[in-house]
Amino acid sequence: MSRTPLDTVEHAAATPDVELPWAELGLKKDEYERVVEILGRRPTGAELAMYSVMWSEHCSYKSSKVHLRQFGEKAPESDAMLVGIGENAGVVDVGQGYAVTFKVESHNHPSYVEPYQGAATGVGGIVRDIIAMGARPVAVVDPLRFGAADHPDTKRVLPGVVAGIGGYGNCLGLPNIGGEVVFDACYQGNPLVNAGAIGVMRHEDIHLAKASGAGNKVILYGARTGGDGIGGASILASETFDDAKPSKRPAVQVGDPFQEKLLIECTLEAFAEKLVVGIQDLGAAGLSCATSELASNGSGGMRVTLDDVPLRDSTLSPEEILMSESQERMCAVVEPEKVDRFLEICEKWDVIATVIGEVTDGDRLEIYWHGGKIVDVDPRTVAHEGPVYERPYARPDWQDTLQADDANKLPRPETSEELKDQVLKLVASPNQASKSWITSQYDHFVQGNTVLAQPEDSGMIRIDEETGLGVAIATDGNGRYAKLDPYHGAQLALAEAYRNVATTGAKPLAVSDCLNFGSPEDPAVMWQFAEAVRGLADACQQLGTPVTGGNVSLYNQTGEAAIHPTPVVAVLGVIDDVARRTPVAFQEEGQLLYLLGDTREEFGGSAWSQVVHDHLGGLPPRVDLERERLLAEILISASRDGMIDSAHDLSDGGLIQAVVESALLGGKGARLIVPDGLDAFTFLFSESAGRAVVAVPRSEEVRFNDMCGARGLPVTRIGVVDGDTVDVQGEFALPLSELREAHEGTIPALLK
């Protein structure tokens, strides 16, 4: 479609007074003035499109950057880090020449608007990040949070999100091995759909997002570019230049997992033949992001001819092409003599591939349209030198009141009958109930390397068939704890994920995080964010697990009501031989049950306080990271040396929740004895951190006790695997059949 005149760089310089819709595109006045200052003239429409989208909160991290720096500044010494924060995803050395890349991201807002496509494209985006590092994706995980389980809108959002994750991930052939599902009224209207992925490669196959070598070609491949996912660009395109044009385009992208599967295979084939110099996936901000990041990370500049971009809709304006977030596209930098072979591989996989530009020896990113130069910028100013805000933050007034409302003072069960009823109520509550209705919609088996999948403590994938080398991943986050104390809440999220990885026998190595918060313009939310980041960075330093990358999602709030601060932490671990992994399920009757760690009266933010009293107040469980580290060492040693046959970490719901899960999964009951010094209620429901329950074969009892004793980990014998009831001696006995009905019936009944 022709437009007169084309807003070229020349035209912009000659018409300084033309008003541009910078405010509608989300830029602040001073931000727009900064663009003008950088360019020394007003931006063209295309340039404005690029700056506005790349300087958005989502792409620039402008509110969070000053805090996120701590992850680098406090990063512990680690031999395992191969690629750190700033690339598409971090890369960790797992030994035997293998490297693993992993990352967690959010797709929260789109998933509320259009649950199926929002969640599906969330999986698609994170998987492309993994491919862009040079790795074959081997698994996905999905930490999810929804509004109240019985709210009518949850019935709209949840099944769509789950079907979208399944529909996309299953069709890609990626086993879904973990994640979480949490319900809380605070997520009503702001569900959290986080998606994580893991990829595996050899060290020498690591690829980076950079365009180097003048004369190298820039190839766009994958799906055609359409009008989906264009936020503000349509305003720019229609209102400024062309009033006759329909302006509203769908803001949520639509996924095509089949196309993405082809993209994975053809990209990996190109990597295998060493055809790729640099690579970037097209996600948020589409071509604007890919071209500016590739160019600014490389040694030269880049020239792109936008007319060559294959389009799904021929009426798209150049601004829209630059901002389109059409899915399943990637951008590769390829040496000229290898271009033919690269295109051949794309053709083999029926993937459209087009040379759209080349690397230049200058330092400018220049983009042409219909022969005119419509973009001429220093790519660094677009990709990396966006605004940075030191937003004000302040501990909210209500924090003291909240912490003073002590959950330890809530009425406790007075009779054995009441205790039993509360156990049944707990294991049947939506947050504690079995999520198999959800997870059975995900393929766990594809690729034939899944050693453990949900509901295990961590998902585990074998990466070498000969040696048995494997990786484990767990994601955790407890918004209730973080609301009570964001600093320690974030540390508890890390501690739980770290413990979960160790419980399965793997050694925790590195961290990725997805930080979900309300509006950064609210000083109370900003304080929560600052505290959580500080807490997480401190804890990562102490545990020796560096943050390799992640994602921040702000503005998760409706009106004044923000979600609970919800830092979701993913911990990646390595296990030398997956044959030594420890499952959750009880394996054999007669094995002895031991509780590792200390149990205190800690009920603030607990599942019990929520389920029985609908209460949130007090302080979360105490954090002791040295204890977590010791516990992890013991669990890993015990797994390696065959001293334990099953293990389960204790977290929300406390000991009774863990024992019930192990019993139901193994189809074997347990007899429990309340240890000296503890009352039955605290024994069963406390959520003290740094604990796990293990089942020890009788032949290993002495050796196991000696090890714990020698290393100073408190260990208490609490019972035995036995029978078909969970029997808390002197209190109650619940048949497994009754527990199963309670535990497994809830979610299907709510969502049918």
Partner 1 sequence: MTARIGVVTFPGSLDDRDTQRAIRVAGAEPVALWHKDKDLKQVDAVVLCGGFSYGDYLRAGAIARFSPVMEPLLEQAKAGLPVLGICNGFQILTEAHLLPGTMLRNDHLHFICRDQKLRVENAETAWTTDYSAGQEIHIPLKNNDGQYVADAYTLDKLEAEGRVAFRYLDFNPNGSQRDIAGVTNEAGNVVGLMPHPEHAVEPLIGTGRTDGLPFFTSILKKLVNA
Footprint on this chain of partner 1 (rule: CB under 8 A) = 163, 166-167, 170-173, 256-259, 261-262, 349-350, 439-451, 462, 465, 578-579, 581
Two tokens, residue 50: 């690029």
Give the SS3 label for residue 93.
strand
CB atoms within 10 A of CB 711: 12
From the list 712, 734, 714, 708, the residue with the least C-alpha distance to 723 is 734
Looking at the Cβ atoms of 415 and 440, the one nearer to partner 1 is 440
Question: What number of other Cβ atoms are within 10 A of residue 667's Cβ?
Answer: 11
Round to the nearest angstrom and report the end-to-end CA distance of the chain: 49
CB neighbour list of residue 620: distance below 8 Å, 6 or more residues apart:
478, 480, 481, 482, 484, 485, 488, 489, 492, 602, 604, 605
Q: CB-based contacts of 85: which residues, under 8 Å, 6+ apart? A: 68, 71, 72, 547, 548, 549
Q: What is the largest CA-CA distance in the chain?
A: 88
Closest separation between CB of residue 475 and partner 1, Å?
A: 20
Q: Is 61 annotated as a binding-site member? A: yes
- Is 253 annotated for ligand binding? yes
Please tell me which residue in 107, 207, 488, 615 is annotated as part of the active site. 107
Which of 457/476 has CB closer to partner 1?
A: 457
Q: Where are the beta strands (DSSP E) in 606-668?
A: 646-649
129 annotated binding-site participant: yes
Q: How far is the CB of 468 from partner 1 (least distance, A)?
A: 8
Which residue in 495, 502, 512 sits closest to 457, CA to CA?
502
**In this structure, are residues 304 and 366 in contact, taking their beta carbons and an 8 Å threshold?**
yes
> Nearest to residue 744, comparing CAs of 480, 494, 432?
432
CA distance 375 to 41: 12
Smallest distance from partner 1 to CB 452, Å = 10
To partner 1, the closest distance from the beta carbon of 163 in angstroms equals: 7
Was 307 annotated as part of a binding site? no
Min separation Cβ 443 and partner 1, Å: 5
The crossing angle, in degrees rounded to 10, of helices 654-666 and 416-428 is 70
Does 344 carry a binding-site annotation?
Answer: no
Alpha-carbon dihedral angle through residues 11, 16, 17, 20, given to the nearest 10 degrees: 70
> What dihedral angle (degrees, nearest 10) is formed by the CA atoms of 182, 252, 104, 56?
-120
Nearer to partner 1, 450 or 662 (CB): 450
Closer to partner 1 at the Cβ: 441 or 557?
441
107 is in an annotated binding site: yes
Nearer to partner 1 by Cβ, of 264 and 672: the residue is: 264
3-state secondary structure of 739: helix
Q: How many CA atoms does the CB half-sphere of 122 hold within 13 Å?
A: 35
- Please indicate if the annotation marks 221 as binding a ligand: no
CB of 166 to partner 1, least distance (A): 5
Active site residue 107: yes
Q: Closer to partner 1 by CB, 258 or 416: give it.
A: 258
Nearer to partner 1, 349 or 389 (CB): 349
The kind and range of the H/E element at 179 are: strand 176-183
**Is 325 annotated as belonging to a binding site?**
yes
Q: Strand, helix or coil at 354?
A: strand
Q: Token pair for residue 270?
A: 């190109």
Choose between 454 and 688: whose C-beta lies nearer to partner 1: 454
Q: Provide, rounded to whole angstroms, the least separation between the CB of residue 115 and partner 1.
A: 14
10 annotated to bind ligand: no
Per-position DSSP letters for 530-560, written without gaps between them: HHHHHHHHHHHHHHT--EEEEEEE---EETT
- Tell whether residue 128 is among the known ligand binding residues: yes
Q: 58 catalytic, yes or no?
A: yes
User: Which CB sits closer to partner 1, 138 or 680?
Assistant: 138
Whether residue 454 is annotated as binding a ligand: the answer is no
Alpha-carbon distance of 91 to 110, in angstroms, equals: 28
Annotated catalytic residue: which of 58, 207, 488, 615?
A: 58
Q: How far is the CB of 257 from partner 1 (least distance, A)?
A: 7
What are the helix (H) ranges across 387-466?
A: 398-404, 416-428, 436-439
Tell me how far apart the alpha carbons of residues 146 and 152 are, in angstroms, rounded to a whole number. Answer: 12
For residue 385, what are the contacts with CB-CB under 8 A and spacing of at least 6? none
Closest approach of partner 1 to the CB of residue 221, in Å: 15
- 614 carries a ligand binding annotation: no
Q: How far apart are CA 165 and CA 136, in angstroms?
A: 19
> Smallest distance from the beta carbon of 747 to partner 1, in angstroms?
13
Distance CA(255)–CA(113), nearest Å, equals 15
Q: Is 326 annotated as a binding residue?
A: yes
Report helix angle 416-428 to 736-751, nearest 10.
Answer: 40
Question: Which of the 8 DSSP states describes residue 61?
Answer: -
Residue closer to partner 1, measured from CB, 256 or 628: 256
Active site residues: 58, 107
Q: Which residues are annotated as a binding site for Mg(2+)?
A: 105, 129, 281, 551
Q: Which residues are annotated as a binding site?
A: 61, 103, 105-109, 128-129, 253, 281, 325-327, 513, 550-551, 553
Q: Which residues are annotated as a binding site for substrate?
A: 106-109, 128, 253, 325-327, 553
Q: Which residues are annotated as a binding site for ATP?
A: 61, 103, 513, 550
